[in-house]
Amino acid sequence: MNNFGIGNNTFVAESARIGNNVHIGHNCIIEDRVFIGDDTFIDSNTIIRQGVSIGRGGFIGSNCIIGEYLMDFCKDRQYHSHPLSIGVNVLIRSGSIIYAGSTIGDHFQTGHQTTIREKANIGNNVSIGTLSDIQCSCKIGNYVRLHSNVFIAPLSVIDDFVWLFPHVILTNDPTPPSSNFVGVHIHSFAIVASGAIVMPGLDLGQDCLIGAGAIVTKSVEPYTVVVGNPAKSISDVRKIKNKVTGKLVYPWREYFCNYMPWEGIGFEAWFNSLDLNEKQKFTISDINI
C-alpha cells in the first residue's frame, strides 16, 4: 500500500501528466491527456476524465467525477473533445461532479455533492455550497459566493462579488416547458437572500438586496431592497441597519471584508490600488468612490 503517491487499484493513463508531490488515493481513474499540477491531493474513488487540466495545490475529495461526459458521449460512446480547465489551489469537496467543457478559475471551492454542468465560465475565488446545481452555459464572475442548495438555470450571468444564500433559484423558462430560455443577470455586489426565486430574464441591479423568500417578477434597480410575493421595493439598501448592532451595513463592501481582496485595507484603498488593467478584470467599473 502507498500512503503517499498512488493508492491501490488506481489507474493512471500513460498520456496523463502528473506533477510532483501529487497524491492519488485508492480506486481512482486518471484518464488520457489529464494534467495534474504539483502538490495536488486526490482522494479515493475519484475519476478524472480525458483532457482535464487541474492547476497546482488542489484538493479533490473522494467520489468526485471531474470532466464528466456530456450527452454526445452518452449517445454515441465516442469521445468528443470538451476541455475542462480548473485553476490553482482549488478545494473540491467529496461527491462533486464537474462536467467537461468549462473554465474554472483559481481558488475555487465547492461543498459536497455540487454539480457544475458544461460551458460554465467561472472566475477566481468562487465558492459554491453543498448540493448546489449550476446548469449549463452560465457565467459566474470573481469572488461570487453561492451557499447550499442553490439552483442556477442555464444562461444565467452572475457578476463579481455577488452573494446567493441557501435555496435561491434562478429560473430561465418564462413558459415551461419551452425552448425559449432567457437567463437572469445579477450585477456586482447584489445579495439574494435565502429561498428567493428570480423569474427568467430579469436584471438585478448592482448592490440590490432581494429579501428572504421573495418571488422576484420584475427587474430590480441598483441599491433597492425588495421583499415578498410578488417582490416590492421597501427601502434603499443604504438605509438598512443590522438588527444586532443597529449599524448601517450596506453597501456591504464598505463594512465586510472577510476573504475579500480588500481584507485588512478596506474596499476603497484596494480599488484605488488597482491599475486600469486590473480594474478591467472586475465587473465593478461603475463604482463611484
Residue 146 one-letter amino acid: L
Nearer to ligand COA, 246 or 264 (CB): 246
Nearer to ligand COA, 29 or 212 (CB): 212
Cβ 202 to ligand COA shortest distance, Å: 17
Cβ 166 to ligand COA shortest distance, Å: 6
DSSP string of 66-91, one letter each residue: EEE--HHHHHH-------EEE-SS-E
Cβ 234 to ligand COA shortest distance, Å: 5
Q: Which residue has 465516442 as its cell numbers?
A: 78
Residue 2 one-letter amino acid: N
Number of H helices, E strands in the chain: 3, 33
Nearer to ligand COA, 211 or 222 (CB): 211
Collapsed DSSP state (helix, strand, coil) of residue 270: helix
Cβ 226 to ligand COA shortest distance, Å: 8
Nearer to ligand COA, 249 or 287 (CB): 249
Report the C-alpha gap between 18 and 269 in whole angstroms.
40
Residues that bind ligand COA (CB under 6 A): 165, 193-194, 209, 211-213, 225, 227-228, 234-235, 240, 243
Nearer to ligand COA, 140 or 225 (CB): 225
Report the C-alpha gap between 186 and 243 in whole angstroms.
26
Cβ 160 to ligand COA shortest distance, Å: 19
DSSP lists the bridge partners of residue 99 as: 68
